[in-house]
Amino acid sequence: MNLENLTIKEIWSMIEPILKEDVEPFKHLNTIYELQLDDHIYQLQFAKGELTFYDTQEKSADCTLKMSEKNFKKFLKGELNSAMAFMTGQLKVEGNIGLALSLEKVIKQYSFFDE
C-alpha cells in the first residue's frame, strides 16, 4: 500500500485501530494533541491508556503541531525527524514542545505502513 495515495481520512482509519490495539506505548500520556495538516484539523486525546480521535477541534490542545499532509506522511513512515522538521520550519509547534517529542517516541513504536 502506497501511503502517498491515501487521504488523511483513510490514514486515520488505518492508524486508529493499530493504536487502540496496543496501548502500552502511550499509556503514560494524559494529553490532547492537535494536528493541523494543511486545511484539516485532527485531535488525539490520550488519557490513561485510552485514545479518542476527533476530526475537528473539539477540545483545548496541550500541544499543536502544524505541518503539511506530505510531511505528516513522512513523519508516520519515520522519514521525518520532528526536531529537524521544527528547526527547518517544516513543523510548527504551539504549546509544550516536549509533548511533541513524546508523540514522536510513541509513533516510532508502531509500524503503520509497509512500503
Residue 113 located in a structural domain = no
pTM listed for this prediction: 0.88
Q: Which CATH number do you get for residue 78? A: 3.30.1050.10
For residue 79, being part of any structural domain is answered with yes
Helix (H, G, I), strand (E, B) or coil at 60: coil
For residue range 18-34, list pLDDT tens digits in order.
Answer: 898 999 999 999 999 99
φ and ψ at residue 41, rounded to 5 degrees = -120, 130
* pLDDT < 70 stretches in the chain: 1, 113-115
Residue 28: φ, ψ to 5° = -85, -15
Residue 88 lies in a domain: yes
